[in-house]
Structure 1
Amino acid sequence: MLRAFASDGVLAKHIQGFSARQSQVQMAQIISNAIASKGNAVIEAGTGVGKTFAYLIPAMLSGKQVIVSTGSKNLQEQLFLKDLPALTAMLGIAPKLALLKGRNNYLCQYRLDRQMQEASHIEARLLDDLLKINQWAGMSKDGDIGGLTSVAENSPALPLVVSTKETCLGQRCEFYDACFTRKARSRAMDAKIIVVNHHLFFADSVLKDTGFAELLPDPDVVIFDEAHLLPDICVSYFGQQSSSRTIDDYLQKLLQIYQTELSDTGQIAQFCQRCLAKLSDWHNGLFSIAESDWRVLLGNKSIALASWDLLAELTALQKLLLAHVGRSELLDDIAVKLAELNHKLNHFFQCDNPQAAYSVEFGSRFVMLRISPINIARECQQLFVANTSWIFTSATLQVNRSLAHFAKELGISDAKAHILDSPFDYPRQALFCVPRQLGNVANQQQALKQLVDVCVKAIEAAQGRTFILFTSHKMLEQTALALRTRTQYPLLVQGQAGKQSLLTKFRQLGNAVLLGTSSFWEGVDVRGKLLSCVIIDKLPFVSPDEPLYRARADNISRQGGDPFTQVSLPQAIIALKQGVGRLIRDEKDCGVLILCDNRIVNRAYGQAFLNSLPPMARTRDLEQALAFLRQIP
């Protein structure tokens, strides 16, 4: 491994301008040692360390079976299609590689076949897309929807034909031998390096999300890149979620089965219509209040009554279906799944676990019900077993120069912790400005006016080339509206188009201003002169009314702790670091970060933020920041 990184090693021979970075070699050594000793490691590797090669090379040279899990499909594909092939060529080794995505990235031949059987009842435009998918399916080797170019990404045909847990028949399926999802998992079982994403890893490990006998293999090593995302993902997978859309889907399918297969059983249609009426009443009640905390909603008698009425009707339907088991495979399948769903709804409506938050997320027509554990460490300890090396890395894990918060959250306090700082020259490359005379961010109108004034000046000085990152959609919309009449530079606003489309346009224009909320705070890489300024509206503290935070805060308070320092502050620090990380992406970048929130300098907790950020030069003088921007070519 050390020879690979040496000044005369394979990387130097094959990569133009390569020079070994001490922090990169140090990270590779830490990972080699962890693999050799079957130990665990948590590594914050600042931007520019080169962490991808630092973990891939030890993993590949170890000869062990390794799962590499990433936070995004983009990074997953970059590893599999670019980095791993390049390294296998350089290192002269040929381990079996596999890319495994979540099941909804693969075509389901059974669902496609069902759609084609209904072709005469499908409207023309949808049928046209289905015919294109059918033609592609006959030629595709892997069934990966990412390789389907003849149909638009947002085609309404795609959700009808991709693999889902709810519709999977497993070994009972007539397409089982040809199944693309099963074949992809089979390839993963044989591979030495398997690239997955976090959602798939936890779906397989926690939910056993499969209709097949084999899951992900039990590997020798698991490496989590973008590990800062894991606490939120674990909360989702160790909890429970149910969508009212699923209830509606089951009821509509049962009505269809009645019309096509079991027309002699009018009771099924009657029971389904009663359930749909109760579902509508329940939805109307929830949407009229629009409160996200289920414990608060349960205090409303009409909501509580509508909830139990809905469950009573669904349970009656479940009992009726038992009388018809064996008459239709589709009905049998729904009967099993409806029983599982009713059990989940009963568990949610009971709301009797003090160690969990119960929340409702509102969509346009349906709601998602979530039970989220307030402490995931115990579940993680059962998952991160001793016979595997577990390695966690990200550019943003430490809080106030310590990795203890992350390790405690995931129950991995035995892991060796390492902070490897970025090799970039931040004091020279970047200037951090918190302008003087900022008012209280709690006063929204005042905060909006001062933010817009700062943005206008900074955009002018930077000649566009600016990201403005927000903690709320409302502030984004108000700022976008105000800036339209006050700047000549093109504005790209989140929601106008997809994330990747906006980023592509930002790069093409060369003088644009991009306004985005949380999804633009991380996983965005714009290098060089295209991005000179990042403006953040305020410190990204979680809302105190958010149900999971409220439940965690209550639990910590009962134990005599401080919810702000134990939960709210660490989360906000890591989120801010993600936003700040958009600015300097390589050793040639220069730029200015402007934070329009003076709490970072006039509140005691502000020092914890400052200690956790890269060592940028600092100023309170906006004119100095604007002068810095003007001299960037």
Structure 2
Amino acid sequence: MSSTLTQSVTHEFSERGALAKHVHHYHNRQTQTDMAVAVSEAIAKKHNLILEAGTGVGKTFAYLIPALLSGKQVVISTGSKNLQEQLFLKDLPALLTMLDIHVPVALLKGRNNYLCQLRLEKQMQMANKFTEFYIDDLLKINQWAHLSKDGDIGNLTSVAEHSEVIPTVVSTKESCTGKKCDHYDVCFTRKARIKAMDAKVVVVNHHLFFADRLLKDSGFAELLPDPDVVIFDEAHLVPDICISYFGSHISSREIDKRLNAVIKLHKEVIRDSIQLEQLAQRGLIALSEWHNLMFEHQVSDWRKVLAHKTLASTSWSLHQALVDLANNMQYHLGRDDQLDIAFEQLQALAETLRHYFECQDLQAAYSVELGPRFIMLRMSPINVAKQCQQLFVKDTRWIFTSATLQVNRSLAHFAKELGLADSKQLILDSPFDYPNQAVFCVPRHLGKVGQSQHSAKQLVDVCVQAINAAQGRTFILFTSHHMLQQVAVMLQGKVKYPLLVQGQASKQSLLNKFRQLGNAVLLGTSSFWEGVDVRGKLLSCVIIDKLPFVSPDDALYKARAANAERQGLDPFATISLPQAVISLKQGVGRLIRDEKDRGVLILCDNRIVNRAYGQAFINSLPPMQRTRDLEHALQFLKQIP
């Protein structure tokens, strides 16, 4: 028997409901109603739900209406700030008006999205030390601060988002003095938290949710310790985010920052102890030697560092330098609050570094990321199911939804990753007419995929034909930056349409240009595989260079693979294949975004038809018309107006 909530929700999606009254040309989509019913039942009958809703189902309204009508305290977590703001600024206000109800709602972001009045005040006091351009931005921010009601930096339009002033005036955990602050009563971060505490529906993003739950990073977990319901939209991102937050990371930039902070403390506060500065300088020298050696050897797996005598010795020398400095700082504890905080931070950093260098946890992967002028050390758990079971407490209903969760028509892989095997599971296919709207082509006569010049040349040959047939209007999605750069160079002069290449500008700027030009070709890697919505005639063709398998040299994959083998499992079938299927589905999802869209997907990787595992990919993709004949796909493109 359906619950009262389910009956109310079903009515609102019917021809007599609120949507029919307020949405122009509304027609009931059965899959959308089915999703709304499933969400309602999960809330009313207190069970967890994992639900894949294909593109076009209308999942946003399908979970928002049950959330608003339930009377429960609901946290809605999104994968991106863009969707977070869309829900709060557009979808929720529209639904509250349609449903004619008053439900208090709140948008909560991480504290570094809010202006800190105390930090701004300190920056203004030091204004005479800054450059003219810096002062200009600082004055604009100060003027905006007096006008803003919420202090949300995202609403600051008078200063460029990459301004060097912004990081110095936003709220941080380290700089917050709490009730001691002169601005406590008007603090923007505090006001946002109070509003969230009074709300029935709170919109956050995944990173804020997990940072607060696991790190207690900005006090949100204390405000809403156990909401009745948590709904994760874009839930396919949750497993990787859990791995990040249940793991740990250390940046060479953070070590450098801590050491320089001690030097500054000596110069400004603890002036009678030159040893503090000397030990901090010794630490900076050790950091520089370690940094240079790591870049010289280009190591990505920490266990290889341990096997290298010089690298290992230099690493432990860095750790010892931090320990020596922390030991000396102990003699000065109690003299200054800033020094006490700096000591705790340095001691914690040294301890984390020790755990990392010892590399003793067989259930974790120890990886090294070499960025532009920095090193990131990551320790990632290879299985977060047990931690997730403790996180996803029984008193709360947990609902996970995305357009890309199933592998080979099953949600078992996602459920297993998060320790949610006993959840209700439902797959709702897209209502779009894929056999008539889209063609999926894997061209014949493709050579072996790879990073070679020959692979790039055969990809470019296909791209040129498709781009001309589509009159631009094409995304080319890559699994590696190396191949992207090769193809970008080779395409120059071979097509007459504008080429937009990842790295030339920000992601949003490139997408805006793509929409404005109307005949452009965009080349991008992983960040363009998801969260990109280009509807209608602007995008007619998506080309993918190859199946997105994780690199076998990836440290986390190697650790997971070794663990799978210890359990007698096949790492490829249980780890690599499911991840690749979900990634491919994300890329494919860029093509058809509307019931009137038409387009062609070209995959330049014949493994999907030549290898047995290819069927798992095909079974997981929308039912597009399939062909190996590139000419057939080109003709379809030419017919799109």
1:43 maps onto 2:51 in alignment: yes
TM-score, scaled relative to structure 2: 0.97
Q: 1:560 aligns with which of 564, 568, 571?
A: 568
SS at match of 2:222: coil
**Using the alignment, how far apart are the partners of 2:148 and 2:595 within structure 1?**
42
1:307 equivalent in structure 2? 315
- 1:176 to partner: Cα distance: 3.5
AA partner of residue 461 (structure 2): D
**Using the alignment, how far apart are the partners of 1:375 and 1:571 within structure 2?**
14
2:256 equivalent in structure 1? 248
- Please give the residue correspondences for 1:470-549 in structure 2 after superposition, counting only pairs within 5 Å: 470-549=478-557
2:5 equivalent in structure 1? none
* More off after superposition, 261-270 vs 368-377: 261-270
**Using the alignment, how far apart are the partners of 1:167 and 1:301 within structure 2?**
40
User: Does the CA contact (< 8 Å) of 2:110 and 2:218 recur in 1?
Assistant: no
1:32 maps onto 2:40 in alignment: yes
**Using the alignment, how far apart are the partners of 1:111 and 1:311 within structure 2?**
32
* More off after superposition, 117-126 vs 548-557: 117-126
- Please give the residue correspondences for 1:148-547 in structure 2 after superposition, counting only pairs within 5 Å: 148-210=156-218, 214-442=222-450, 444-547=452-555
- 1:313 to partner: Cα distance: 1.2
User: Does the CA contact (< 8 Å) of 1:431 and 1:618 recur in 2?
Assistant: yes
1:63 maps onto 2:90 in alignment: no
Number of residues of Structure 1 aligned to a counterpart in Structure 2 = 633
1:629 equivalent in structure 2? 637
User: Does the CA contact (< 8 Å) of 1:435 and 1:620 recur in 2?
Assistant: yes
**Using the alignment, how far apart are the partners of 2:184 and 2:579 within structure 1?**
44
SS at match of 2:426: strand
- 1:124 to partner: Cα distance: 2.1
Structure 1, gaps ≥5 residues long: none
SS at match of 2:185: coil
The alpha-carbon distance between structure 1 residues 519 and 242, as it changes in their structure 2 partners (threshold 3 A), is same
User: Does the CA contact (< 8 Å) of 1:169 and 1:211 recur in 2?
Assistant: no
User: Does the CA contact (< 8 Å) of 1:168 and 1:211 recur in 2?
Assistant: no
AA partner of residue 313 (structure 2): L
User: Does the CA contact (< 8 Å) of 1:107 and 1:162 recur in 2?
Assistant: yes
1:4 equivalent in structure 2? 12
1:256-298 Cα distance to aligned partner (Å, 9 max, x none)? 2222223222121111111111111111111111211111111
1:557-602 Cα distance to aligned partner (Å, 9 max, x none)? 1111100000000000000000000000011000000000000000
The alpha-carbon distance between structure 1 residues 137 and 326, as it changes in their structure 2 partners (threshold 3 A), is farther
User: Does the CA contact (< 8 Å) of 1:188 and 1:217 recur in 2?
Assistant: no
1:81 maps onto 2:89 in alignment: yes
**Using the alignment, how far apart are the partners of 2:441 and 2:282 within structure 1?**
61
* More off after superposition, 86-95 vs 356-365: 356-365
2:129 equivalent in structure 1? 121
**Using the alignment, how far apart are the partners of 1:623 and 1:213 within structure 2?**
56
- 1:554 to partner: Cα distance: 0.6
SS at match of 2:184: coil
The list of structure 1 runs, each at least 4 consecutive aligned residues, that deviate by more than 6 angstroms after superposition, is none
- 1:443 to partner: Cα distance: 5.9
**Using the alignment, how far apart are the partners of 2:86 and 2:23 within structure 1?**
17
* More off after superposition, 346-355 vs 132-141: 132-141
SS at match of 1:177: helix
AA partner of residue 587 (structure 1): E
The alpha-carbon distance between structure 1 residues 138 and 323, as it changes in their structure 2 partners (threshold 3 A), is farther
User: Does the CA contact (< 8 Å) of 1:403 and 1:417 recur in 2?
Assistant: yes
1:410-449 Cα distance to aligned partner (Å, 9 max, x none)? 0001110000000000000000000000000036222101
The alpha-carbon distance between structure 1 residues 423 and 339, as it changes in their structure 2 partners (threshold 3 A), is same
SS at match of 1:310: helix
User: Does the CA contact (< 8 Å) of 1:440 and 1:446 recur in 2?
Assistant: no
1:610 maps onto 2:640 in alignment: no
**Using the alignment, how far apart are the partners of 2:289 and 2:68 within structure 1?**
57
SS at match of 1:127: helix
AA partner of residue 593 (structure 1): L
- 1:343 to partner: Cα distance: 1.3
**Using the alignment, how far apart are the partners of 2:430 and 2:158 within structure 1?**
43
- 1:212 to partner: Cα distance: 8.4
SS at match of 1:323: helix
**Using the alignment, how far apart are the partners of 1:177 and 1:183 within structure 2?**
8
SS at match of 1:254: helix
* More off after superposition, 549-558 vs 160-169: 160-169
- 1:211 to partner: Cα distance: 6.3
User: Does the CA contact (< 8 Å) of 2:441 and 2:633 recur in 1?
Assistant: yes
SS at match of 1:372: strand
1:108-140 Cα distance to aligned partner (Å, 9 max, x none)? 223323323332222222222122222222222
User: Does the CA contact (< 8 Å) of 2:74 and 2:228 recur in 1?
Assistant: yes
SS at match of 1:397: coil
AA partner of residue 472 (structure 1): S
The alpha-carbon distance between structure 1 residues 212 and 395, as it changes in their structure 2 partners (threshold 3 A), is closer
- 1:44 to partner: Cα distance: 0.3
User: Does the CA contact (< 8 Å) of 2:193 and 2:220 recur in 1?
Assistant: no
- 1:104 to partner: Cα distance: 1.6
Structure 2, gaps ≥5 residues long: 1-8
Q: 2:558 aligns with which of 534, 538, 550?
A: 550
SS at match of 2:89: helix
**Using the alignment, how far apart are the partners of 1:45 and 1:51 within structure 2?**
7
2:3 equivalent in structure 1? none
Aligned-pair identity (%): 68
AA partner of residue 122 (structure 2): R
1:275-326 Cα distance to aligned partner (Å, 9 max, x none)? 1111111111111112111111111111111111111111111122121122
User: Does the CA contact (< 8 Å) of 2:12 and 2:19 recur in 1?
Assistant: yes
TM-score, scaled relative to structure 1: 0.98
User: Does the CA contact (< 8 Å) of 1:430 and 1:616 recur in 2?
Assistant: yes
2:6 equivalent in structure 1? none
1:54 maps onto 2:57 in alignment: no
SS at match of 2:77: strand
- Please give the residue correspondences for 1:88-103 in structure 2 after superposition, counting only pairs within 5 Å: 88-103=96-111
**Using the alignment, how far apart are the partners of 1:447 and 1:70 within structure 2?**
37
AA partner of residue 522 (structure 2): L
**Using the alignment, how far apart are the partners of 1:251 and 1:171 within structure 2?**
29
**Using the alignment, how far apart are the partners of 2:181 and 2:516 within structure 1?**
47
AA partner of residue 251 (structure 1): L
**Using the alignment, how far apart are the partners of 1:122 and 1:330 within structure 2?**
23
AA partner of residue 347 (structure 1): H
**Using the alignment, how far apart are the partners of 1:210 and 1:49 within structure 2?**
35
User: Does the CA contact (< 8 Å) of 2:478 and 2:546 recur in 1?
Assistant: yes
**Using the alignment, how far apart are the partners of 1:283 and 1:167 within structure 2?**
28
